């Protein structure tokens, strides 16, 4: 779990800094879901919005588990290296998108439109939302909305080669997106305005690009691992001499 901790933090940051994209993709939907709450349920708006987002985040974790099984299946094959390279390239593409320098990532969203066409009718039947279970289920369906950012993060999570790790990374990513979309549903304009600022988006994009370069297989990783191993060996030697 300690080895996974930096990745979990990265996934959390990726979700938080991807808030600008989430606003464009899901902000309108979040507003529609809020308006779909019956008048007599408006006093429970926060609870219903929390249920929406909990369902969405759990669907991300479920998708992470499913695609993580595929990643686990190829973890010990030559395809594992290719998967890690593609995942790193997608992280770089996400960073470029978040910074506003390249929008090619949105083309990936076309991959999920066919699936969403089958899911959308079921989601429509759940509106208006009058109960927490209905809000939770609607959020779970909403989690399958085509999103290049989610798809890219899924592939990165799958490259870890462990289904449980992939699910945990997607859970952390989902938790990162929570504050932005919850604030949107509650009309918290200060937070959404902050995450829309160009400087914040550029800083977030650069951070994600650097993480993508760091995770790219190559000599730099061998150097880092060798440096860590050498440090551990020196530390062990010092203990032995002591």
Q: What is the DSSP string of 101-148?
A: S--GGGGGGGGGHHHHHHHHHHHHHTPSP-SHHHHHHHHHHHTTS--H
Is the model's pLDDT at 64 over the cut of 90? yes
Answer whether residue 224 is part of any domain. no
The mean per-residue pLDDT over the stretch 172-197 comes to 72
Neighbours of 211 (CB within 10 A): 21
Answer whether residue 225 is part of any domain. no
Is the model's pLDDT at 16 over the cut of 90? no
Answer whether residue 124 is part of any domain. yes
> How far is residue 136 CA from its own chain's centroid?
19
Task: Give the confidence band of 188 by pLDDT, cuts at 50, 70, 90.
Answer: low
Range of the domain at 128: 3-187
Answer whether residue 140 is part of any domain. yes
* pTM of the full structure: 0.77
Task: Specify the number of domains making up the chain.
Answer: 1
Phi, psi torsion values for 103, nearest 5 degrees: -110, 15
The pLDDT tens digits of the residues spanning 69-120 come to 988 888 778 888 888 888 788 888 878 887 888 877 777 777 777 888 888 8
Answer whether residue 58 is part of any domain. yes
Answer whether residue 37 is part of any domain. yes
Q: Which residue has the higher pLDDT, 45 or 184?
A: 45
Cα separation, 192 vs 181, whole angstroms: 9
38: left (phi over 0), alpha (psi -120 to 50) or beta: beta
Q: C-alpha angle 175/89/116, rounded to 5°?
A: 55
Answer whether residue 227 is part of any domain. no
Q: Please report the pLDDT score of residue 112 as a whole number.
A: 77
Answer whether residue 168 is part of any domain. yes
Q: C-alpha angle 9/151/27, rounded to 5°?
A: 80
Structure tokens at 75: 């973890």
């Amino acid at each position: 779990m300690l080895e996974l901790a930096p990745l979990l933090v990265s996934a959390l940051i990726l979700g938080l800094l991807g808030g600008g994209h989430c606003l464009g993709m899901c902000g309108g939907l979040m507003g529609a879901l809020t308006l779909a709450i019956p008048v007599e349920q408006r006093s429970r708006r926060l609870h219903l919005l929390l249920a929406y987002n909990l369902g969405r985040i759990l669907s991300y974790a479920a998708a992470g588990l499913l695609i993580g099984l595929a990643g686990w299946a190829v973890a010990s094959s030559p395809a594992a290296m290719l998967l890690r390279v593609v995942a790193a390239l997608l992280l770089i593409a996400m960073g470029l998108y978040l910074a506003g320098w390249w929008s090619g990532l949105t083309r990936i969203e076309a991959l999920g439109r066919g699936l969403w066409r089958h899911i959308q009718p079921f989601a429509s039947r759940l509106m208006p939302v009058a109960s927490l279970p209905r809000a939770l289920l609607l959020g779970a369906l909403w989690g399958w909305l085509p999103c290049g950012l989610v798809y890219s993060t899924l592939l990165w999570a799958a490259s870890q080669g462990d289904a449980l790790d992939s699910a945990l990374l997607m859970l952390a990513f989902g938790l990162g997106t929570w504050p932005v979309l919850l604030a949107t549903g509650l009309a918290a304009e200060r937070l959404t305005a902050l995450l829309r600022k160009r400087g914040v988006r550029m800083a977030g994009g650069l951070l994600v690009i650097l993480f993508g370069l760091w995770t790219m297989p190559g000599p730099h990783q061998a150097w880092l691992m060798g440096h860590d191993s050498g440090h551990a060996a020196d530390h062990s030697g010092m203990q032995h001499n002591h």
